[in-house]
Amino acid sequence: MTKIRYSKERLRSNLRMGIFFVTIGIIFVLLSFIIKWKEISLASIGIGQILAGIPMFMIYYFENKKQYLTLKNGELIKNTLFPKKIKLKEVKFIREFAGDLKLITEKTEFVIDTQIVETNSLMELKSLLKNYNLK
């Protein structure tokens, strides 16, 4: 089983966004105890910010654990909430266009965004695709 990893920049940005939203939310909740506004409740804004940060932590955890692609038993799996699979034996050809790799079969098209993939993993992916005699 081979894993094609997300870039560290993508993973760090998800983590930073989660920390940012939760921190701002906590600050607003604490400010709501000090400042009493009649029009806007700072506590509700803070809770909203915290609730926006929690999914960012979940995305970070999921992407860090699963990574972008997994090659297993001749199948390439894109690890999203609903995983997408393609059998490499069914791929007719590969097209590189606008920073994406498109694996094209008779019925479907499987798009790999190369800009969110770590550079070492991208080279590994391209060599694996060459091993399957895909052009």
DSSP state of 88: G
Where is the domain boundary, 10, 45, 66? 66
DSSP state of 74: T
Amino acid identity, position 88: L
Based on the fold, state whether residues 111 and 123 are members of the same structural domain.
yes
Q: What is the span of the domain harbouring residue 91?
A: 69-131
User: pTM for the complete prediction?
Assistant: 0.85
Based on the fold, state whether residues 13 and 60 are members of the same structural domain.
yes
Amino acid identity, position 77: I
- Per-residue pLDDT tens digits for 91-102: 888 888 888 999
Q: Which residues contact 130 (CB under 8 A, 6 or more apart)?
A: none
Based on the fold, state whether residues 45 and 11 are members of the same structural domain.
yes
Residue 38: pLDDT band with limits 50, 70, 90: confident
Domain count, the chain: 2
Based on the fold, state whether residues 29 and 59 are members of the same structural domain.
yes
**What's the rounded mean pLDDT across residues 5-29?**
96
Taking each helix axis from N to C end, the angle separating 8-34 and 42-66, rounded to the nearest 10 degrees, works out to 160
Q: Name the E strands within 5-132.
A: 69-72, 75-78, 84-87, 93-97, 100-104, 109-113
**What's the rounded mean pLDDT across residues 51-60?**
97
